[in-house]
Amino acid sequence: MSFKKFKVIVIGLPKTGTSTITVMLRILGYQVTGPDIHFEIGKTPYLKKQFEIFDGFQDYPWCFEWWRFREDDRVLFIELKREKAAWWRSFYDSYGGKDTNYLSYPYFKIAKSKENQEAFLGFFEQYYDHFVSYKKEHPEKVLSVDIKNLSWQDLCVFLNEPIPKNLWGQIVKKPHVNQLNYQQGQKKKYLLIKRIRNFWIPIIGVKRWQKLMLFLRKNGI
C-alpha cells in the first residue's frame, strides 16, 4: 500500500509514451500498474480493488476505464499526446500481435491490419475527443503533454513532488523507454539483461527487481 497523496491515471493509448511515464512515476515513488493482463471487461470490483492498492495507472485497461474514477478527489490525469500517424506506425509494428491478438482488442474491436489503418486513426481521434469535456471542466487536474516535451520540472510541479536527484546530487536524466528500438539497436545487451532478469525475478521477486532497475537507472549505472 502506498502513501501518495494523488492517484495518477494516464490518458493515452498504448504507444503514446506510457512506458516512459511509468518509469518517471516510479522514480518519484509511485506504485504503477498496467498493462494488467488479468483484467477482463466487466470485472469492476477487481478494478476498484487495484485502484486502492496502486497510485499510478496506465495502458490496458486504465486508459479506457479512466471515466470510472473521474469524480474521485484524489485523481489527477496525465494526457499523453502524439501525432496520430506516428502513433499508428508504432502501434502496428510493436504493440502485441496482429489481427485480434493484441491486449486492447476488447476496447478497440478492430482487427490489427494495414487495411484497417483508417479505422484505428478514427478510434484514436474519438478517444481523445472523449476526454475534452472533462479537461475543459477540470483544467487543474490535467497535465496535457507530448512525452517528448515532458520535463521533470513540469511533472513534479503538477504532482507537487521534489525533482528527483541521483546519488551525486544531480537531476535524474529523463528516461526514454522504447523497447523495440532498444531490442533492435542493442540486441546483445538486451538479451543479456533479459537472461539476468529471468534468473533473478524468481529469486527476489518482481518488486525488488523493479526497485533495483530504478536505482540503476536513476543513478546512471
Q: Which domains does the chain have, with CATH numbers?
A: 7-177 (3.40.50.300), 180-221 (no CATH)
CA-nearest of 114, 3, 98, 104 to 63 is 104
Position 182 scores a pLDDT of 42
Q: Which amino acid is at 205?
A: G
Helix (H, G, I), strand (E, B), or coil: what is residue 194?
Answer: helix
CA-nearest of 24, 25, 46 to 37 is 46
Question: How far, in Å, CA of 152 to CA of 157, rounded?
Answer: 8
Confidence of residue 187 (pLDDT cuts 50, 70, 90): low
Across 136-152, average pLDDT = 96
Rg of the chain (C-alpha set): 18
CA-nearest of 127, 171, 176, 172 to 148 is 176
Task: Say whether pLDDT at 141 is over 90.
Answer: yes
Helix (H, G, I), strand (E, B), or coil: what is residue 177?
Answer: coil
Across 186-215, average pLDDT = 76
Across 79-96, average pLDDT = 94
Helix (H, G, I), strand (E, B), or coil: what is residue 67?
Answer: helix
Question: How far, in Å, CA of 135 to CA of 21, rounded?
Answer: 19
Contact 59, 14 (CB under 8 A): yes
Question: How far, in Å, CA of 55 to CA of 33, rounded?
Answer: 8
Contact 176, 185 (CB under 8 A): no
Across 188-209, average pLDDT = 78
Task: Say whether pLDDT at 173 is over 70.
Answer: yes
pLDDT digits (tens, 9 = 90+) for 23-78: 999 999 999 999 999 999 989 999 999 999 999 999 999 999 999 999 999 999 99
Confidence of residue 184 (pLDDT cuts 50, 70, 90): very low
| pTM score | 0.86
